[in-house]
Amino acid sequence: MNEAASRALPVQDARIYPKGGLDVLSRAEVARLRDASAGGMHELLRRCALAVLTSGSASDDPRAARDLYPDFDVHVTQQDRGVRIDLKNAPAMAFVDGEIIRGVAELLFAVVRDLAWTAIELGPDCIEDLETSAGITNAVFGLLRNARILRPSEPNLVVCWGGHSINREEYLYTKQVGYELGLRGLDICTGCGPGAMKGPMKGATIAHAKQRRRTTRYIGITEPGIIAAESPNPIVNHLVIMPDIEKRLEAFVRMGHGIIVFPGGVGTAEEILYLLGILLREENAGLPFPLILSGPTGAAPYFEQIDKFIRLTLGEEAASRYEIVIGDPVAVAKKMTAGIRKVREYRIAQKDSFYFNWAIDVPLEYQQPFVPTHEKMAALDLHHGRPAPALAADLRRAFSGIVAGNVKEDGMRRIEEFGPFLIHGDAAMMQALDALLRAFVEQRRMKIAGEYRPCYRVVT
């Protein structure tokens, strides 16, 4: 869109006083928050703020909103009573009759809260703490607690993974599953975006209303590189922005009492491999963790291909850690409810908390941030003969790199400059990987709109 057209879009200035985690701060804390937002974090804050102000956008191009609103800016200002957020040339779609929509404002507060907490609490002084597995887990816990979403209540949180680019039949199925989960008193946690992340939440809202549940949680967990491409859907009422994809994935696993995987693309495959790699560790062998892969009848071939790929790469033991249910939302909800009941019994026996799974072992290789460069992607060790958890870790990184090349601004920039990532490995494994990725492209799971140009090349 040209500059004249972008200027024609309706915009509005606003001044907002945050609540919920930012409304009771000392002057010293406010000063630190202001300094963080005015420093190197400012562009990140601007990008994430714009993403939530365009909540519900159908685009998965991380640069689209910035191009549409090039004059948008956001500033955090110190006040005697706390902080003030000043918006300039903000998208008018975030307002009604001159007032910012309440849900959008809450998401905006969450952006400032989480980015400030990360800058202040996980800054240069904490580098040594983030070099150990326990230190990283404590950082994940601290960020979630600061977001006020760790609640000492009965286990009822279902994490739903799936693609942002899915067809209508698949979307309606995710909505029906969410409805059945909601009828059984279960809350929903997703990656916060559209598609399979929105459907379960939308279905659950209707079920929760029918059951007259007043306290409901629709948690969206994202990270700075993803949020611009997958802006929060309007149903999210608790948004958390983790510093990177690894901490985001650990947050899902630590908070969730069970996980349902719907059809998706490379990001969904990354999530599956992450969880299976952890569950295959000897330390987690006896840990109950319900994992269900599910979709409508039309998605059966998709899950057959995913199942075949997992068995080829990680073995039969990995396949034993999940169950595939096709075309039956009621069965999915019943199986998840029964699985969470076992989780509850196990946590009580182990004296582990309901709101944060301290018992599951997440090794350092799954926690350290992976920045996909062409050199690192080409160096991934994708060969048979390795322990399944180690191979899963590198397979996860391969898919993570493709996600970055597809929707993350830094990754897209690398692809534009140096060409596609090259992925090497065992011939059989690479053939299976290439077939899986080709299927994702053919089924339009890589991108919501427009022609997809692969950011990778599998060397078979």
Mean of all residue pLDDT scores within the chain? 91
Q: Is 241 part of a structural domain of the chain?
A: yes
Q: Is the pLDDT of residue 5 over 60?
A: no
Question: Do 343 and 198 share a domain, yes or no?
Answer: yes
Number of domains in the chain: 3
Q: In the prediction, which pLDDT does 4 show?
A: 42
Closest CA to 187 of 216, 147, 209: 216
Q: Is 171 part of a structural domain of the chain?
A: yes
Least confident of 17-21, 208-212, 377-381, 404-408: 17-21
Question: Do 76 and 159 share a domain, yes or no?
Answer: no
Of 317, 350, 383, which marks where a domain is finished? 350
Question: Do 314 and 382 share a domain, yes or no?
Answer: no
For residues 50-56, give the mean pLDDT: 87
Quick: pLDDT tens for 200-215: 999 999 999 999 999 9
Q: In the prediction, which pLDDT does 269 show?
A: 97
Q: In the prediction, which pLDDT does 123 show?
A: 72
Q: Is the pLDDT of residue 431 over 60?
A: yes
Closest CA to 383 of 333, 313, 302: 313
Q: How many other β-carbons are positioned within 10 Å of the β-carbon of residue 198?
A: 28
Question: Do 40 and 79 share a domain, yes or no?
Answer: yes
Quick: pLDDT tens for 252-276: 999 999 999 999 999 999 999 999 9
For residues 168-179, give the mean pLDDT: 98
The residue with greater pLDDT, 453 or 253, is 253
Helical segments of 97-234, H only: 102-121, 133-146, 168-183, 199-210, 224-227
Q: Is the pLDDT of residue 6 over 80?
A: no
Q: Is the pLDDT of residue 7 over 60?
A: no
Q: In the prediction, which pLDDT does 27 show?
A: 67
Q: Is the pLDDT of residue 222 over 70?
A: yes
Q: Is 359 part of a structural domain of the chain?
A: no
Q: Is 147 part of a structural domain of the chain?
A: no
Q: Is 319 part of a structural domain of the chain?
A: yes
For residues 57-72, give the mean pLDDT: 79
At 28, which CATH number? 3.30.1850.10
Tokens of 237: 């009422």
Quick: pLDDT tens for 91-121: 999 999 999 999 999 999 999 889 888 888 8
Q: In the prediction, which pLDDT does 343 show?
A: 97
Q: Bridge partners of 323? A: 292
Q: Is 96 part of a structural domain of the chain?
A: yes
Question: Do 234 and 308 share a domain, yes or no?
Answer: yes
Question: Do 69 and 190 share a domain, yes or no?
Answer: no
Q: Is 346 part of a structural domain of the chain?
A: yes
Residues spanned by the domain of 392? 368-458
Question: Do 80 and 201 share a domain, yes or no?
Answer: no
Q: Is the pLDDT of residue 322 over 60?
A: yes
Q: Bridge partners of 159? A: 189, 259
Q: In the prediction, which pLDDT does 39 show?
A: 65
Structure confidence at residue 383 as a pLDDT band (50, 70, 90): very high
% of the chain residues with pLDDT over 90: 74
- With contact defined as beta carbons under 8 Å apart, do 139 and 256 qualify? no
Q: Is the pLDDT of residue 125 over 50?
A: yes
Of 290, 319, 350, which marks where a domain is finished? 350
Question: Do 109 and 254 share a domain, yes or no?
Answer: no
Question: Do 116 and 232 share a domain, yes or no?
Answer: no
| 20-23: long-range contacts, CB 8 A cutoff, minimum separation 24 | 20/106, 20/109, 20/113, 20/148, 21/109, 21/113, 21/146, 21/147, 21/148, 22/82, 22/83, 22/109, 22/112, 22/113, 23/82
Quick: pLDDT tens for 132-147: 999 999 999 999 999 9
Q: Is the pLDDT of residue 346 over 50?
A: yes
Tokens of 87: 């918006």
Question: Do 91 and 172 share a domain, yes or no?
Answer: no
Question: Do 110 and 161 share a domain, yes or no?
Answer: no
Quick: pLDDT tens for 418-427: 999 999 999 9
Q: How far is CA 33 from CA 51, 118, 338, in A?
A: 20, 10, 44
- CA 449 distance to own-chain centroid: 20
Instruction: Round to whole Å and give the CA distance between 23 and 105.
Output: 13
Of 350, 381, 397, which marks where a domain is finished? 350
Q: Is 434 part of a structural domain of the chain?
A: yes
Question: Do 308 and 160 share a domain, yes or no?
Answer: yes
For residues 359-382, give the mean pLDDT: 96
